Chains A and B, each alone.
Chain A
Amino acid sequence: MGEKKSAVEILQTYDGPPVRIMEVCGTHTHEIFRQGIRSLLSDKITLISGPGCPVCVTPVSFIDEAVMLALEKGATICTFGDLVRVPGTKMSLALARGQGAKIQVVYSPMDAQVYAKEHPDEQVVFLSVGFETTTPSSVLSVQKAIEEGLDNYSLLTANKTMPGAYRAMADSTDLFLYPGHVHAIIGTSLLEDLAKEGVSGVLAGFTPKELVTALAVGVTKFAQGEAFFANCYPRVVRPEGAPAAVDLVNTYMEPCDSEWRGIGWIPASGMQLREAYSSFDARKKHQLPKIEGRVNPACRCGEVLQGKCKPSDCKVFGKGCTPEHPIGACMVSGEGACSAYYLYGGDNK
Chain B
Amino acid sequence: MIEKSTAENSINYEKIEEKAAVRKKTANIVTYFFLTVWAVIVLFPFYWMVLTSVKSYSAYNSEYTPKFFTLSPTIQNYVDAFTTVPLGKYLINTVIFTFITTAAMLIVITLAAFAFARLSFRGKNAAFVLFLSLMMIPNELVIITNFVTITDLNMRNSFQGLILPSITSVFYIYLLKENFEQIPDSLYFAAKVDGTSDLKYLMRVMIPISKPTLITVAILKLIECWNSYVWPRLITDDENYYLVSNGIQEIRENGFGRENIPAMMAAVVVISIPLILLFLIFRNRVMAGVARGGTKG
Task: Tell whether A and B belong to one assembly.
Answer: no
- Write the residues of chain B forming the contact surface with A, with a CB cutoff of 8 angstroms: none
- Write the residues of chain A forming the contact surface with B, with a CB cutoff of 8 angstroms: none
